[in-house]
Amino acid sequence: MEVLLLTCLVILIVYLLNHYYFTYWKRHGFCQMDSPMWLLGNISDLFFFRKSFSNCFIDLYEKYKHHKYIGCYFTYKPILFVNDPEVVQDILVSNFSSFTDRPRFVDEVRDPISTHLFNIGGQKWRELRFKLSPTFTSGKLKGMFPIMRGCGKTLRDFMLKNNSNGKNVFNFIDLFAKYTTHNIVTVIFSIDSDTFDDPDNVFRKISANFSEPSKRQHIMDIFSFLVPNILHAISIFNFRSVTANVNDFVMNFVAKIVKHREDTKFQGNDFLQLLIQLKNQGYILTKKNEEVEQNGDKTRSENINIMKKLTMDEIAAQVHVFFVGGFETSTATMSFCLFELCRRPDIQKKIQEELDNVFGASTNFDDVTYEMFNNLKYLECCINETLRLYPPLSILFRTCTKDYKMPDTDLIIEKGTSVYIPAIAIQRDAEIFENPLEFTPERFMDSPTGNGKANGGFYLPFGDGPRHCIGERMGKMQAKIGLASVLWKFSVEYNNKEDFGDMPELQKTQFFLRSAKPFNFKITPRI
């Protein structure tokens, strides 16, 4: 009898707690999504690998898009899902001071690699963003251009060599991953790594670790994005934001190469050298015009301690985020773009005509200049359109850092609440973009945001506001060079059209947007 009573009591307590947690939004006056599932809330599909990360959010958006914003639960954590471009703009730009952070797992002591620009918040983020901004000015990008062009040439030569040996089908996701890994390693460390021919290349192994995470790592990624406080609680059991292999390699490699440079007084023309300046003097030396560009950065703040130096751990953490940021996003952009170009040979032909016109008499990639690349306007539109249909980081996140009253209502978003913006779903909304699933680069011809029919933030592949992507220019340049390297010399088509439906199926264990199937495309040399 007592056991029965006790069981009933426990069930009642669990029921009441469940009810209490899952009515947070109603109690605060907001609408909320239906039927959160016990323990998992509204995203059980993610935990059971039933849908990709992006599809999960696209489906929620489709169901609730006529709410400007709506509450939901990821596990028991209340999350505000924002659908309306004007509210998006409010959060990312106009009222940024109430939403300065991302809900991310950071642990300086037990997991120093997690303390990078993407993850950290508050004053620490403000200072770091200010210090790192000179790394990404247009002047620095121009300085890096010859190195990046060299990587494009290596990609093209690899294809030419294999093609003359009879190989004409390549998995372009893998091929572009090799190219971006090669590129990012060169611009960070000035190391010419053999990512194309060496199957045991250590950098390629590390990048493969990001793009093909295990189910366990994917669950950890979900936790670290959606409910970082739970990850914090379990970090006493030694959970980390990356695998031990990646952590050890990055931390040890960076420490070793910095020491080597300091011992030998070697100065590289690369990111690492700029980070070493931040370690030794606390700031990066900039030219006058770069200062102007940097001062335009909205993160500028009066309270920045210019002299504060970065530690070795902080340098390694930034190397890590540049590597991940520069690798996976550009690989996805180039491979989805080529996927669409196989479907649309007419658009592919227009790009090739533009390449022929702009590159003119140049027969060698070394003769192609930075200015010529900047003149590839149609290719740029194709990249912008790819990023609309397939934004590699399909959801944006913010943490409310100061209680925020929603305009024209009495509703308050409480400090600590996570806010999610389903960028991919907004960018595929037929009420914003005409024929949204059609690849139409022309919509970017006269408009940097693709002529969307909405006010506010509706084109968000690089985010918006002071926390927008710091590497946007570099990411786009990397994608432009990679695509130009392929399309200048080759035409590309599906190897087997039946492999793909209307839209590529997406991987379910990947946080970034990635096709579930290899992109095996056939190349034919252009005459």
The annotated binding site for heme is made up of: 469
Residue nearest to ligand HEM (CB): 463
Give the C-alpha distances (Å, rounded to integers) separating 159 from 166, 310, 349, 476: 11, 41, 19, 22
Closest approach of ligand HEM to the CB of residue 422, in Å: 12
Question: Nearer to ligand HEM by C-beta: 117 or 151?
Answer: 117
Which residue numbers belong to the known binding site?
Answer: 469
Which of the residues 204 through 223 are near ligand HEM (CB under 6 A)?
Answer: none
Residue 329 or 417: the one with the smaller Cβ distance to ligand HEM is 329
Contacts (CB under 6 A) with ligand HEM, residues 124-163: 129
DSSP H or E segment with residue 497:
none
Cα–Cα dist 247/226, whole Å: 22
* Calpha distance 246→206 (Å, rounded): 6
Nearest approach, Cβ of residue 183 and ligand HEM (Å):
9
Of residues 36 and 392, the one with the C-beta less far from ligand HEM? 392
Write out the two tokens for 274: 């700029």
Residue closer to ligand HEM by CB (options 370, 494) is 370
Instruction: Please report, to the nearest 10 degrees, the dihedral formed by the alpha carbons of residues 492, 493, 495, 498 taken in order.
Output: 150
- For ligand HEM, the closer CB: 220 or 470: 470
117 binds ligand HEM (CB under 6 A): yes
Residue count, binding to ligand HEM (CB under 6 A): 26
C-alpha count within 13 angstroms, C-beta hemisphere, residue 364: 3
Whichever of 175 and 523 has its CB closer to ligand HEM, that residue is 175
DSSP single-letter state for residue 311: P
- Least distance from ligand HEM to the Cβ atom of residue 326, Å: 4
Residue 50: φ, ψ to 5°:
-85, -25
69 CB contacts (<8 Å, ≥6 apart)?
Answer: 30, 80, 81, 82, 83, 84, 87, 406
Could you tell me the smallest distance in angstroms from the CB atom of residue 384 to ligand HEM?
A: 10
Given 71, 134, 461, 482, the residue binding ligand HEM (CB under 6 A): 461
Could you tell me the smallest distance in angstroms from the CB atom of residue 160 to ligand HEM? Answer: 26
Residue 56 burial by Cβ neighbours in a 10 Å radius (0-12, 13-18, 19+): buried
The widest CA-to-CA distance across the chain, in whole angstroms, is 92
Minimum separation from the CB atom of position 392 to ligand HEM (A): 5
Residues in region 321-340 near ligand HEM by CB under 6 A: 321-322, 325-326, 329-330, 333
Taking the C-alpha atoms of residue 269 and residue 470, their distance in angstroms, rounded to an integer, is 19
Residue 487 makes contact with ligand HEM by CB under 6 A: no
User: Across the strands, what pairs with 405?
Assistant: 412
Element (H, E) at 521: strand 520-525
Alpha carbon distance 456, 84 (integer Å): 8
For 365, which DSSP code? G
Binding mask 282-321 for ligand HEM (x = CB under 6 A): ---------------------------------------x
> Which of the residues 363 through 402 are near ligand HEM (CB under 6 A)?
387, 392-393, 396
> Between residues 329 and 399, which has the closer beta carbon with respect to ligand HEM?
329
Q: What is d(CA 205, CA 248) in angstroms, rounded to the nearest whole number?
A: 14
Which listed residue (36, 134, 471, 504) binds ligand HEM by CB under 6 A? Answer: 471
Q: What is the CA radius of gyration of the chain?
A: 24
Supply the minimum distance, in Å, between the C-beta of residue 329 and ligand HEM: 3
Which one-letter DSSP state was computed for residue 406? P
Residue whose CB is less far from ligand HEM, 112 or 475: 475
Binding to ligand HEM by residue 413, rule CB under 6 A? no
Q: State how far the Cα of 25 lies from the Cα of 266, in Å rounded to an integer.
A: 57
Q: Which is nearer to ligand HEM, 42 or 329 (CB)?
A: 329
Is the distance from CB of 441 to CB of 381 less than 8 angstroms? yes
Binding site for ligand HEM (CB under 6 A): 117-118, 129, 321-322, 325-326, 329-330, 333, 387, 392-393, 396, 461-464, 467-471, 474-475, 479
